[in-house]
Structure 1
Amino acid sequence: MAEIKSPKTSFKFNVTRQPAELIPPAGSTPYEVKELSDLDNAPQLRFLVVTVLAYKNHYGNNINKHCLHGTVHPAKVFKEAIAKALVSYYPFAGRVRAATGGRLVVECNGEGVLFIEADANVTLDEFGGDQFIYDPICMTDLLHVVPGSDRILHTPLLLIQVTRLKCGGFIFALRLNHTMADATGVVQFFNAVAEFARGAESPSITPVWERNLLTAQPLLEINFDKNIEMHEIICRETVTRSLDMVSKYFYFGSTQIAAIRSSLPQSTRSFTRFDLVVAHLWRSRSIALYSDRNDVVQLKYPINIRSIVNPPLPKGYYGNAVKVLIAETTVGELFDKPLQYALELITSPKSKHNIKSSLLSNVNNLDNMFLISDTTKLGFDRLDFGWGQCASARHEGIYQGRNFVSFLAPFKHLNETGVLAPIHLPRPAMEKFVKIVTQFNTLSNL
């Protein structure tokens, strides 16, 4: 394990933002009310997901030969491409409402998504270049929270800010209402945006709604009240918030993975990279965070079920289609037993859980839960809007103002691409975590 530190985390920069505007579909779209699936309706998915992509564009120096747009402000390209993509993906331009019995639906009214054009007097190199890592303090500059937009109901489903940097590169930040789509779905939408930005006439993948495929009991009649507020249906957070939370980034490359494997018995070397990283993080985090050996701790991690359900979901389905697997034990068991114990807990649910019962379990109490999601193969880092692939991609899950999920992301370090794991803990626990995670499993010299 190697800790990757944010470059110049204390540096200040100025951002000039244009007023937020709504981007509606570029063409006519039907007005209708669409029902969200049972998975979309899971109360535990009523949170916001932030993705930040950094792009190079040294067009003037002819360094980025992939650039198709010259020196035009990237915001102009994005606004036009998003408007075109919203014709096919018109539900994204609508609003989530609460319908009969509190179930969620989408009013497809064509109002549009929120967009902010911005400029910043900072370079991508100051953020780390190819190793772009933003400090959470910078987040409000890179993605301005438009007042009143951070709710689940009655607000735009996407908030996007494109910030041009003084080096010619830019940062593309988006916030998604998770009830509408999972990571695979939002990548599909922005692949369509990227295709339009590169000159395509239509998306290569036709979007498929068909949320009925994951709905047991469709609504017979849809009635909704636009006056119902988010807090009347959203899960309550019962965790005591720490005023001194710390975020750190930890890198796992081939050297680190080999070190973890070397600590295991010869007969158990078939675990995947994901298994090894997650088991090591969960074990270290649990021991660092909890003082009572009898505390029960959970690890939750989603898997894509598009090809697992019978029949498989059609190509182009962009709703939530994830099953969350759960591993559970006590802090004492994790402390006393070798890493192999945690690995076996993580891998065993994959064959034991019923896909049909795949709704997320209750997250009202986040104290004992470590939620981790693997984005390394989803394709965020391959999105090409005409400037080539992005230099770096980062993700955050925000639940009532708290970052509670760790997203594993691809990361280039020392001429290889490994896995970057963000960890968010109270400061005293983080200090213990760093010591533990670098001591266990022969990783103390990394």
Structure 2
Amino acid sequence: MSSSPLLFTVRRFQPELVLPATPTPREIKLLSDIDDQQGLRFNIPAIFIYSHESSMAGKEPVEVLRNSLSQTLVYYYPLAGRIKEGDGRKLMVDCTGEGVMFIGAEADVTLDQLGDSLHPPFPCFQELLYDVPGSELVIDRPIRLIQVTRLNCGGFIVAMNWNHTSGDGIGLKQFMNAWAEIARGAHQPSIQPVWHRELLMARAPPRITCNHREYEQILPPNTIKEEDITTIVHQSFFFKLSDIARIRLMIPFHLSQCTAFDLITACFWYCRTKALRLEPEEEVRMMVIVNARSRLIAKHSSFVGYYGNCFAFPAAVTTAGKLCGNSLGYALELIRKSKDEVTEEYMQSVADFMVIKERCLFTTVNSCIISDLTRAKFREVNFGWGEGVYGGVAQGGAGPFPGVTFIVPHKNAKGEECLMLPICLSYEVMKRFEKELDDILGSQNHPTTSVSNFVKSTL
């Protein structure tokens, strides 16, 4: 976040449970068979950064957000409950109304002092989100852990751990919008949340009707290749419009109308695979998260307001030799074909697969998963202090698997609109990845690395 070490103090107040403002139903709600798969049983760190707004003078961000959160939980009351595990590893929410964990804090630093590169990786993130004991768990723990840190300049930072079994990125954005609307004075969210997890439950009897190469068990079920979680470094890479145009020139004409997300994904897969230096016959996978809401809303209008997990990540599969020996168009075509596989039947088949295969983990060997957050527009979440300086996931890598990443819109240090790709790789592989990307972009892409800021915290 800065080119030199920065000393500042974070003073946290005691963690507290924020309850719904009025009594809510006490009931058990089953998560869907998409929600409770092994690969989603972790917490994702997210961060939203806001600068000073003169029209909000006299209003305390911690107080405003705490009070509006309590009101928001009346509508999103399952999030104030606790996740339980039943027979067959089935997850459910016990709507106890116990609340979400909330921490107010103050930091004696300004946004200007933090630098002009407020984006992943955040080297002081652990101070912006206190590690409450047990917060890494998903069962019998608060479903949200939130810290609101006020800065000396009047700006503030909202950081949270978000239990992925409770919802996906679109669901998180819907919740954040509802919270922000109420913080600005609304009496209720403009989009009413709906549960309806039964729409993504397995059939009786379950039957697998599609090919799911994203779940091929190369390793024993629910395990991750050990070297994937050791000695990793974080870097973010920016793609300006000129970079995307340069990549587009490298692909066949019939693919030239593809999205910038698909272009960056193909480039990432190609460069990452070359940097890994795999044997030519080794299989590699790129799994693209596909939001399935549009496939389901036409048949089930009740999906409007659905905040559960409603996506699949079909796998584009080839060998390292074929991927690296062909042009970017080869990778791009595989990615686009895999995304087209996601239909209503595909989603139903995934739900059935989870029941038959005991909610197994996705394939982790030589794999990466990428999500398009360009349409989520997390930066637009407005609590009354205007649009955020940054909004979205706090780092590349998610849970125990560093192969997960995302693409998010952002402004670089020069204020230029661009698309950002934060990734995790081992140090040597990252250096090779950077060189491969430079070869494609003509050394115009400047990554950002994690800087060890010194932060003193008190509680």
Partners of 1:9 and 1:107 in 2: CA distance = 47
Task: Quote the residue 2:406 is aligned against.
Answer: 407
Deviation at 1:365, TM superposition (A): 5.1
Secondary structure of residue in 2 paired with 1:425: strand
- Deviation, 1:321, is 0.7
Identify the range of structure 1 (115-124 vs 395-404) with the bigger mean alpha-carbon deviation.
Answer: 395-404
By how many angstroms is 1:267 displaced? 4.1
Task: Name whichever of 408-417 and 197-206 sits farther off.
Answer: 408-417
TM-score, length-scaled by structure 1: 0.88
What is aligned with 1:225?
A: none
TM-score for the superposition, normalised by structure 2: 0.85
Query: Residue 14 of structure 1 aligns to a residue in which SS?
Result: strand
1:366-381 matches, cutoff 5 A = 366-381=364-379
- Contact persistence 1:249–1:422 (CA under 8 A): yes
Change (3 A) 1:268 1:105: closer
- Of 235, 248, 270 in structure 2, the residue corresponding to residue 261 of structure 1 is 248
Shift of 1:26: 0.4
1:11 corresponds to 2:6:
yes
Structure-1 separation of matches of 2:225 and 2:362: 6
Question: How far off is 1:384 after superposition?
Answer: 0.4
Q: Deviations over 1:216-256 (max 9, x none)?
A: 3599xxxxxxxxxxxxxx94434335543111111111110
Give the equivalent residue in structure 2 for 1:208: 194
Point out 4+ residue stretches in structure 1 off by more than 6 angstroms. none
Q: CA distance change for structure 1 residues 11 and 415 in 2, over 3 Å: closer, same or farther?
A: closer
What is the Cα deviation at residue 421 of structure 1? 0.4
348, 366, 384: which one aligns with 2:337: 348
- 3-state SS of 2:105 partner: strand
Q: How far is the alpha carbon of 1:397 from its aligned partner?
A: 6.7
| Partner amino acid, structure 1, of 2:77 | Y
1:21 paired to 2:19: no
2:40 matched residue in structure 1: 45
Q: Distance in 2 between matches of 1:312 and 1:9?
A: 53
- Please tell me whether the aligned partners of residues 47 and 398 of structure 1 are also in contact (alpha carbons under 8 angstroms): no
* Structure 1 residues without counterparts, runs of 5 or longer: 1-5, 60-66, 220-233
SS of the counterpart of 2:187?
coil
Structure 1 position 99, deviation (Å):
1.5
Structure 1 position 180 matched with structure 2 position 166? yes
Instruction: Read off the aligned partner of 2:411 and give its amino acid letter.
Output: K
Closer/same/farther in 2, CA of residues 397 and 82 from structure 1, 3 Å limit: farther
Query: Which residue identity does 2:321 align to in structure 1?
Result: G
Could you tell me which residue of structure 1 aligns to residue 299 of structure 2? Answer: 311
The number of equivalent residue pairs is 417
Shift of 1:206: 1.1
TM-superposed CA distance for 1:36, in Å, is 0.8
1:290 and 2:289 matched: no
1:204 and 1:243 mapped to 2: Cα distance? 44
Is the contact between residue 80 and residue 142 of structure 2 (CA under 8 Å) also seen in structure 1?
yes
Q: What's the offset of the Cα at 1:142?
A: 1.0
Q: 1:445 to 1:141 in 2, by over 3 A?
A: closer
Give secondary structure in 1 for the equivalent of 2:379: helix
Report the Cα offset of residue 7 of structure 1.
Answer: 2.9
Change (3 A) 1:261 1:364: closer
Preserved contact between residue 238 and residue 364 of structure 1 (Cα < 8 Å): no
State the SS of the aligned residue for 2:124: helix
1:391 aligns with 2:389: yes
Q: Is 1:97 matched with 2:95?
A: no
What's the CA shift for 1:351?
A: 2.7
Say which SS state the counterpart of residue 420 (structure 2) adopts.
Answer: strand
